[in-house]
Chain A
Amino acid sequence: MLHKALLLVLAIIQINAAEYDTSILPEAYVDAAQHSTHTNNWAVLVDASRFWFNYRHVANVLSIYRSVKRLGIPDSQIILMIADDMACNARNPRPGQVYNNANQHINVYGDDVEVDYRGYEVTVENFVRLLTGRTQNGTARSKKLLSDAGSNVLIYLTGHGGDGFLKFQDSEEITSQELADGIQQMWEKKRYNELFFMVDTCQAASLYEKFTSPNVLAVASSLVGEDSLSHHVDPSIGVYMIDRYTYYALEFLEKVQPFSKRTIGEFLQVCPKRVCISTVGVRKDLYRRDPQKVPITDFFGAIRPTRVSTDRINVTLANEEDFYTDFEHMPPKKQFKIIIQPQFIAKINK
C-alpha cells in the first residue's frame, strides 16, 4: 500500500517536472550569461616536441606566449612548457632568438621570457598534475596553476599528434580521454570559470572530442583524418619555421590591442581552408556564450573592466612612523670584525 502511494507521488512529481520547460531560461539570466564573468586570466602553453627539427612547434608556442604577454597576462600567470631549447641550441645561427618567419619579422622568443617547465620536465604527468593542481610537494610557485573559480584559462598545445592522442617528447602520449578527465577535474575543483582550448597538431579535433565539462570552447587546427601543415622553411636554419594555423593565429593576434573590440568569434574564423589546407575545427556546444559577443581579451589578455568612482571613500592611512626605523635611538653600528675561515684543508701539507 505504501509502495503504491510512493509511486503515485513520484508520478505526480514527474508530471509537474515535465510541465516546467527548461529550454527557456529566464531572460535576465541569459543576458547576464553573455557578459564576461571572470576575475583573472591564466594561460598554459605547451610545446610537447623535442629535437631541432621540431623548431616550428617551439615557434608556435612562443607565438601564443608573446601574444598573451603583450595583451597583459603577467609571467606569473603564464605556465610555459617547452620540451627543448631552440633559442640557445647549438644549431641555431641566431642565438637567443626564435623567429616566426624566414624574413625574421617577429622574434617570438624576445628579450624577456620565463619558461616554467623545460626539457625533461615536460611530461604528461607534470602536465596533468599542473592542470589538476596536484603538483608534488615543494614545487615552486611559478610552476603551479593557481587558478580559481573566476579564472579564464587558455590552454594551448602543440606537437605531433594522431587520432585521439598527442605525443610528448616522442616518448609518451596524452590521450583525449586523459585530457577530458583532467579538464573535468579542473571544473570539479573550481579551477576555471571558462576555458579556451587551442591545439595545433595533426588530427587535432580528436583531442577535444571527449570533453564533457561546461564552459569549454575548443578550437583545433585540423579535423580528424587531416594533417596540420607547416608554413614555410627557412633555408638558413634548414627547418620549418612555424605551423600554418598558428602562423595565421599570430597574424590575427598581432593586430589585437589591449582594448580591442575583436571577438573570439572572429578568432575562430582564422585560417580558412584555402590558406590552412586543413579544416579548423571548433567545438562550441559546451560553451554557453555566443563567441561573436565574447571579446578576445577574455582569454588572451588580462584586462578587467575598471570603474572610476566619484564617491567619497574613507581611507585610514597607515602611520608613517611604522615604516621607518628609529635610527636616532638605535645603538651605533659596531665596526665589523669578520674572520674568514681558511678555505683549504691544512692536513694535506703534512
Chain B
Amino acid sequence: MIAELALTLLLLLSPLALGQTQIPQFQYQTDEQFHEELVVRPLAGDHVNTYFQFTTRWHYGVHKNLYHTQLTPRVIAEILQTYDVKELHIGLTQGLWRYETWGYPIVEATGGAELWAWFSSPNLTDDSVNKQWMRLANVFSGILCASLNFVDNTNSIAPKHIFRPQFMESGNRSHQFVRYATLPREIVCTENLTPWKKLLPCGSASGLATLLNSGYIHNTKYHSLGVKVRTLCDSDDPSNCLVELTQTANLVYDLKLLEQSNTDFSLRRLFGMGLNGYCEMASSSKIYVQLNEQGERFQLTPTPQEEVLSTVGGHNVLFGVYDIQQQFEEPGARLFNIAWLGPKGNSKREHTSPPPLYAHRYLLGNGQKHGRIATEVTNTHYEPLPVVLMELVPWYVHAYLHTLRISSKPQHLHEYTSNELKFSLLHYAPGKQRELPTHLEIGFMLPARSSALITIEVDYLLLKWLEYPPDANHGHYIGSAVIGSQLPIGRNYTALPLEGYLFQDSFNASQPAYALTLRTEALIVSLPTPDFSMPYNVICLACTVVALAFGPIHSVATKLIIVERQTTIPRNLLRKVVHKLTSRFSRRSTNTVLNEQQNNEQNGKGKEKENEQEEKQLDQTQSCDKQAHM
C-alpha cells in the first residue's frame, strides 16, 4: 500500500522533475517553423479570392536523419528520402481561373489533378525515374485520396523548357529529371480536403485551417488545393539544406451566390464561422486583406493592426494586416470575425483591365474522326512577349506536327490574317498508341498587342472495347496547355517570389522580370463511341427472327397436311353440338376417324384396292403417331 502510494507520488512528480532538465522550447523552433497565412482580396465582378497558405520550413543538416520530424509531416520526409525527390507540386482543382477578369492567381493550377516533380540523384537513370515517378504518384493517391495512381508512362511527359527546378543546380544537368502529368477528370471534394488538412501540424483542430469547412469550400466557383515541397540548399555548402512544405488552398467566392444580396462580406459569411484562435505550433499567424481596388477603399471592422503598401513593378496595393496571435493574446478574446464594407452606392466593382497575357483553348472541326486543337494566346502589353507553350496530347488522339500553325492578328481584329509567326524553339516527342502521349513545346515571340492562334490537327482513335470507361459517352479529356512567359511589368502579378516563402515576401518584391506560367482550359473530345448495347440488341433481334422462322418451317417440314372431309354432320342442332364436342375430344384419334371415312368411301369404290389402301393407312398412322409424339 505504501509502496503504491510512493509510486503514484513519483509519477505525479516526474513531469516536474523532467521539466527542470528540459531544454527551453524556443531552441526547437529555430529548427522547424510553421507559418499560417490567409490573404483576402476582392476580384472583379463581385468575386472574392481567399488564399490560405501553410508553410513548414525545416532546416536540416546532413548529420540529421530525415525521419526525425516535428512539424513537417513524416510522410513527406519519407518520400523525400525514398524517392530522391527534390521538388514536388501537386494541385487538385475544381473550376476555372478566369485570367481575363481576375488577373493572375497566387498559385497556378489546372482543373483536375496536376502533378510534377523533380528528381535528382547521382545514380538515377530515365527508367529508374519512371519507376520512382509512378510509385510517388501511387503514394500520393493514398495520402490525398485522389486517383493519382492512374499516372503512368502513358500520360506522363518530361517537360524540356517550360519548368525549371527551384533547388540549387548541381551543375550536372544529366542528373536532374522532371516528370509531369495531369488528370483532368479528377474530382476534388471533402475526401481530398480531409487528408490534406491532416498534413498540417494542428490539423483542423485550431488555427486558420478551422475556417476550411467542406460545406463552404465546395460552394465556391473555384477551389484549388495545393501541396508544394522543395528542397533548397545553400549555394556555398550543398549539405546545408532546407525542406519547405507549402500547402495552399485557393478559393474564389461569388458573392452573388452567397445568401445576402449586397456585396459586403465577412469571415463568418464566407466560411460559416469566425476564427477561434491560432495554431499553437505556428511561428506566425496572419491575415492580409487587400484594402483598395481601383481607387476604391474598403472599410474593415475591426480595423487592421497594421497597413502595408506594397509596390510591385509600379503597381500599388494596400494591405491591412491582422496578427492573430496578438489578437488572441488579449484576455477575453472570443470568436474573431472581420467584416468588409465597400463604399456606399458604388458596390458594383468595375472590371479590371485584362492582364498582359492570357490564353484560351478550344476544339475546331466537327465529326468524331478529325479535329483541330486551337490555343489562343493574347498579349495586351505594349511590348512583344516571349511565350513557351506546352501541349500534352493523350495517346488516344493523334497529333500531326506538320499541321502545326501559329497565325497571328492584331488584338483589335477578329479574323486571323495569313501571316504566320516563326517559332524559335521546338521540342516534339511523338506519341505512341497505348504507350506514350504526344509532347510538344514551342517557343515564339508574341508581338505587342496581338493574339496568336496555335493550331494542330488531330485524329481521334477508335478504342478497343475494354478501353472505354464505364461512362464512355461523357467524352475523353485532353489536359490543359501550359504557357510560360516572362512579364516585364508587375500588374496583376501576385505570385510569391521564388526566394520567399511567406506572403509578406511578395511585398515590394520588384523584379526585372516576372516568370509566369498559365494554364488553359482542358478539352473534352467525344471519341467515336460504339453503341455498347448493340450486341445485345443484335442477339435479341436475331433470336426473335430465328424463333419466328423456326416454328412455321419446322411444322411445314414435319407435319403432314390432310384435308378432313366432314360428310357426316348431323342436321339436328343438339346433335351438331354433341358431334363437335366429341370430334374435338377425339381429335387425338383422328387417324381412326380417317380410317373409318376412307373405309366408307372405299366400300363404295369396290374392294379391289383394299389391300393397298390398308398399307397406306398404316404408313399414315405411323407418321401421325410420330408427330403426336413430338
**Do A and B belong to a common assembly?**
yes
A residues with CB within 8 A of B: 50-51, 83, 85, 87-88, 94-97, 109-116, 118-121, 138-143, 169-171, 312, 320, 324-325, 327, 333-334, 336-345, 347-350
B164 in contact with A111 (CB, 8 Å): no
Contact of B294 with A by CB under 8 A: no
State whether B498 touches A121 (Cβ < 8 A): no
B135 contacts the other chain (Cβ, under 8 Å)?
A: yes
User: Is B149's beta carbon under 8 Å from chain A?
Assistant: yes
- Say which residue of A88, A113, A114 sits within 8 Å of B187 (CB atoms): A88
Please, which residues of chain A bring their CB within 8 A of the CB of B219? 95-96
Complex contacts, A341 vs chain B, CB 8 Å = 164-166, 168-169
Nearest-CB residue, chain A, relative to B195: A114
Across the interface, which residues of A come within 8 angstroms of B94, CB to CB?
A: 88
Docked-complex contact A320 and B21, CB < 8 angstroms: yes
Interface of B is mostly: mixed
A344 partner, pick from B142, B237, B386, beta carbons under 8 A: B386
Would B215 and A120 count as touching, CB distance under 8 A? no
Residues of B in contact with A, size category:
35 or more
Interface status of B145 (Cβ within 8 A of chain A): yes
Q: In whole angstroms, how far apart are the Cα atoms of A51 and B135 in the complex?
A: 30
Chain A residue nearest to B517 (CB atoms) is A343
Max chain A C-beta neighbours (<10 A), residue from B143, B145, B236, B486: B145
Which residues on the B side are within 8 Å of A113 (C-beta)?
A: 190-191, 194
CB distance from A229 to the nearest CB of B (A): 25
B331 CB within 8 Å of chain A: no
A138 to chain B, nearest CB (A): 4
CB within 8 Å for A96 and B164 given contacts A140-B149, A333-B30? no
Q: Is B337 an interface residue (CB 8 A)?
A: no
A170 near B470: Cβ-Cβ < 8 Å = yes
In the assembled complex, the Cα of A344 lies from the Cα of B498 at a distance in Å of 13
With a cutoff of 8 Å between Cβ atoms, the chain A residues found around residue B445 in the complex are 348-349
List the interface of chain B (C-beta within 8 A of A): 3, 7, 18, 21, 23, 27, 30-31, 59, 64, 94, 134-135, 138-139, 141-143, 145, 147, 149-150, 161, 164-166, 168-169, 185, 187-191, 194-195, 213-215, 217-219, 232-237, 240, 242, 386-388, 424-425, 443-445, 469-471, 484-486, 498-499, 513, 515
| Contacting pair A324 B23 (CB below 8 A) | yes
Q: A115-B191, A140-B138, A338-B234 are in contact. List 6 more A-B contacts (CB 8 A).
A: A50-B471, A111-B213, A121-B147, A121-B149, A337-B235, A348-B425
In the complex, chain A residues whose CB is within 8 Å of the CB of B213: 111
CA distance A110 to B214 in the complex (A): 9
Q: List 7 A-B contacts (CB under 8 A).
A: A120-B147, A121-B147, A121-B150, A138-B135, A324-B23, A345-B388, A345-B425
User: Residues of A contacting B138 with CB < 8 Å?
Assistant: 138-140
* Given A88-B187, A338-B168, A349-B386, A142-B147 contact (CB < 8 Å): no
- Decide if B161 touches A140 in the complex (CB within 8 Å): no
> A350, B218: Cβ atoms under 8 Å?
no
B143 touches A140 (CB 8 A): yes
A87-B189, A88-B188 given as contacts; is B215 within 8 A of A320 (CB)? no
A336 with B147: in contact, given A140-B138, A345-B443, A348-B443 (CB under 8 Å)? Answer: no
